Amino acid sequence: MPLTREDVAGIADYARIALTPEELDEMTAYMNDAVDLLEPIRAYDLEGVEPTFHPIGDLSNVMGEDVPDDAVRHLPVDVALKNAGASRDRSFRVPSILGDQGGDR
Amino acid sequence: MANFDQLSAREIAAGVANGDFTATEVARAALDAVEARDGEVKAFLQVSADLALAAAEATDKARAAGEKLGPLAGVPVAFKDNMHLVGTRTTCASKMLANYESTFTATCVQRMLGAGATPVGKTNMDEFAFGSSTESSAFHPTANPWDTERVPGGSSGGSAAAVAAGEVTVSLGSDTGGSIRQPASLCGVVGLKPTYGAVSRYGVVAFGSSLDQVGPFGRSVEDVALAMNALTAGGRDPWDSTSQPVATDFLAHLNDGVEGRRVGIVPALMEAAGLTDEVRDAVTAAGRALQDQGAELVEVELPNIASAIAAYYVIAPCEAFSNLARFDGVRYGYQEPGQATLAEQTSLSRAHGFGEEAKRRQMLGAYLLSSGTYDKYYYPAQQVRTLITADYARAYEKCDVILMPAAPRTAFKFGEMSDPTQMYASDMFTISNNIVGNGGVSVPLGLGATSGLPVSAQLQGPAFADATLLTFARAIERSNSASDGSGAPVAPAFAGKGGELA
């Protein structure tokens, strides 16, 4: 069943990408074309086939030592903040995360 | 003296080491060539003249102090603009990152610099590497140096074009579905996608984390081998958990013969819909050239790679959606001003920071990962990945490498492929190798009989047999009489424009 405009609007909301009504029309057409392209995947009988999530060998999660890397990879605060759209003191600055209106503007 | 665009990386490094010319002279020649040529090619998003001259000066000082120089001493290189280099922006050709200053340097970039290379600048690309033509760059298109009305391919189109136009000797790109091999093919240069894990991804902006791999472009196979040595000689990168140690000298067996070795041909691929006659004929001729050098051609089958594009367009958008979720407009990237809530700020920053294709891919990924859809597409795609991997493993029991086209056709005109899903077919020959993580290399075969534009062959090999790929690539290169066997020429419209070694 093709994706409807409402379906795509729901996905856009979940993906946090605000689409204009016109973009929503174009995106709906694209999503249905793209999903058609994926049909070969559904034609297989994959009973008993193990998935491959990672291409090379028996890799599993690699855990680092739980110690700060102050020497090399540590980003100084001013470097970490310099690409932020808004900051204050040693922090990133964001609008309210609670409710529609309240909070720090 | 000579124009630097006529020198290989090895010749430049040797010339600098011998004192025939200085690294500073080479750097100035490269910057001069960029000045003279890039107005038309537009391969660069940022030229890092200060960094180039400082690196070259350091190389010259090291020589004066009697220090041993690196294997890329003084060699002008360019980096795809998804690679961090302190002192440059890293924009991914996106408005989202238009002002993003690199906060650290990627391991792949650092290793090239450590080998003595001179960083000339950052190259254009499809936005966040989503595309096959470099047309989705938010800043400007890049022209194919062989015909400036045509695209250079993509997504690493700027890196391929910079080498083809002789603006730099070597460049780095990244390949998630063909983004090194396809532009290399369209621009007539050598482009290697190494085995997944061979080159560190640390500091390279992630697109598809199980697919992305960094690799070099050069006009000769030897230059690509030199770059691979620089990229891998430092061993495993502890900062990329998927990095693998590669204890290979890529130059050691470069000129080995191919006598008695086996080259796989996949008949179904040579008959694929969309493959043009001139590309098929050139690849067939490359197979004969290998045969003439004593290699044996054997037929192999890869029955499941017909589904590789479908599997890829499940896996890659899902990984892209996860990776690009970090662009929330808070820590870095475009931030929509004047929003009352974080949710509005985020969704408008992403709406206005990302271009069309970046939004499409993320929307597709978001849908495919949503509950109910995951089991229909994502999980089965990873199972099909297992089948494709098994196909290759069976094929490599019968052959050392597989010979096939790199791209179905030569460079297309700007705007010619307007439909996004049609564009996806540009990677029909390259994508399966990313799915399985193996290496592949694009080898120039001169100009196509019909189009007069660069055509090429692709060699694919088993995991961590990238040096073997280069041996076969060198054998094809050696047989190319048009270039007297030494490598691909600089595109004629740009050769010798600026770039004289003073």
Q: What is the 3-state secondary structure (H, E, C) of chain A?
A: CCCCHHHHHHHHHHCCCCCCHHHHHHHHHHHHHHHHHCHHHHHCCCCCCCCCCCCCCCCCCCCCCCCCCCCCCCCCHHHHHCCCCCEECCEECCCECCCCCCCCC
Give residue for tokens 């499940």: B314
Give the DSSP H or E segment for B447: strand B440-447
pLDDT at A98: 76
| Phi, psi for residue A21 in degrees, rounded to 5 | -55, -40
Residue B147, C-beta contacts closer than 8 angstroms, at least 6 positions apart: B411, B453
Cβ–Cβ of B382/A52 closer than 8 Å?
yes
Q: Whose CA is closest to B421, among B348, B331, B312, B283? A: B312
CA distances in angstroms from B348 to A15, B229, B363, B469, listed in the order given: 11, 44, 15, 46
Distance of alpha carbon B338 from alpha carbon B351, whole angstroms? 15
Residue-level pLDDT at B317: 98
- pLDDT tens for B225-278 read 999 999 999 999 999 989 999 989 999 999 999 999 999 999 999 999 999 999
Instruction: List the structure tokens of B11.
Output: 């010749």
Q: How far apart are CA B128 and CA B179, in angstroms?
A: 11
- Tell me: pLDDT of A101 over 60: no
Interface subset of B 202-231, CB within 8 angstroms of A: 210-211
User: A-chain residues within 8 Å CB-CB of B331?
Assistant: 80, 83-84, 92
pLDDT at A104 exceeding the cut of 60: no
| Residue entry with tokens 């890049």 | B142
| B426 catalytic residue (yes or no) | no
Cα(B310)–Cα(B456) distance, integer angstroms: 25
Q: Which residue bears the tokens 């697919």?
A: B211
Q: How far apart are CA B136 and CA B138, in angstroms?
A: 6
* Cα–Cα distance measured from residue B249 to residue B398, given in angstroms and rounded to the nearest whole number: 25
Per CB-CB distance under 8 Å, the chain B contacts of A15 are 321, 350, 362-363, 366
Q: Is A77 part of the contact surface with chain B (CB cutoff 8 Å)?
A: no
Set of chain B residues whose Cβ sits within 8 Å of the Cβ of A31: 363-364, 367
Average pLDDT, chain A: 88
Specify the 3-state DSSP secondary structure of B208. coil
Predicted confidence (pLDDT) at residue A57 exceeds the cutoff of 80: no
Q: A13 and chain B: CB distance < 8 Å anywhere?
A: yes
Looking at residue B101, the DSSP 8-state letter turns out to be B
With an 8 Å Cβ cutoff, are B313 and A34 in contact? yes
With a threshold of 0.95, does the pTM exceed it? yes
| CA B76 from centroid of its chain's CA atoms | 17
The Cα B475–Cα B246 span in angstroms is 23
Known catalytic residue: B179?
Answer: yes
Q: Whose CA is closest to B331, among B346, B312, B319, B352?
A: B346
| Torsion (CA) B382, B430, B396, B265 in degrees, nearest 10 | 130
Query: How far is residue B483's CA from residue B478's CA, in Å, rounded to a whole number?
Result: 9
Annotated catalytic, B398? no
Gap between the Cα atoms of B159 and B167, Å rounded? 10
Return per-residue pLDDT of chain B as tens, 502 residues: 699 999 999 999 999 999 999 999 999 999 999 999 999 999 999 999 999 999 999 999 999 999 999 999 999 999 999 999 999 999 999 999 999 999 999 999 999 999 999 999 999 999 999 999 999 999 999 999 999 999 999 999 999 999 999 999 999 999 999 999 999 999 999 999 999 999 999 999 999 999 999 999 999 999 999 999 999 999 999 999 899 999 899 999 999 999 999 999 999 999 999 999 999 999 999 999 999 999 999 999 999 999 999 999 999 999 999 999 999 999 999 999 999 999 999 999 999 999 999 999 999 999 999 988 999 999 999 999 999 999 999 999 999 999 999 999 999 999 999 888 888 888 999 999 999 999 999 999 999 999 999 999 999 999 999 999 999 999 999 998 777 788 999 999 999 999 999 7
Q: What pLDDT does B280 receive?
A: 98
pLDDT of residue A102: 45
Asked whether the ipTM of the predicted complex exceeds the cut of 0.85, the reply is: yes
The answer to whether A1 contacts chain B (CB < 8 Å) is no
Cα gap B321→B358, rounded to integer Å? 9
| Catalytic site residue from B42, B80, B122, B193 | B80
* Cα–Cα distance list, A13 to A20, B166, B243, B335, B371 (Å): 12, 46, 35, 18, 15
Q: B242, A46: Cβ pair inside 8 Å?
A: no
**Interacting residues of B398 by C-beta distance below 8 A, sequence separation 6+:** B262, B264, B298, B300
Q: Give the mutation candidate from B246, B383, B423, B460 for the A interface (greatest A CB count, under 10 A).
A: B383
Helix (H, G, I), strand (E, B) or coil at B262: strand
Rounded to the nearest angstrom, the minimum Cα separation between B341 and chain A is 5
User: Contact, B145 vs B135, CB < 8 A?
Assistant: no
Angle made by CA atoms B164, B165, B166, in degrees to the nearest 5: 90
Q: Give pLDDT, residue A96.
A: 83
**Token pair recorded at residue A101:** 């209106």
> Distance, in angstroms, between A69 CA and closest chain B CA?
11
Question: Hunting for tokens 């009989």 — which residue is that?
Answer: B449
The C-alpha atoms of residue B181 and residue B432 are separated, in whole angstroms, by 12
Measured between alpha carbons, how far is residue B298 from residues B111, B295, B348 in Å?
38, 10, 55
Apex CA B347: angle with CA B212 and CA A75, to 5°? 55
CB-nearest partner of B437 from A3, A33, A55: A55
Distance set, CA B363 to CA A4, B33, B212, B245, B350 (Å): 14, 41, 20, 36, 12
Cα–Cα distance measured from residue A76 to residue B427, given in angstroms and rounded to the nearest whole number: 41
Q: Is A28 on the interface with B (CB under 8 A)?
A: no
Q: Which amino acid is at B239?
A: W
A-chain CB neighbours of B384 within 8 Å are 41, 44, 46
Which residues in chain A are closer than 8 Å to B328, comparing Cβ atoms? 16
- Can you tell me the distance from the alpha carbon of B197 to that of B181, in angstroms, rounded to the nearest whole number? 17
Share of chain A above pLDDT 70, in %: 89
Residues of chain B positioned with their CB less than 8 A from the CB of A52: 382-383, 385-386, 389
Radius of gyration of chain B (CA): 21
Rounded to 10 degrees, what is the CA torsion of B42, B43, B46, B47? -100
User: How much is the pLDDT for A62?
Assistant: 72
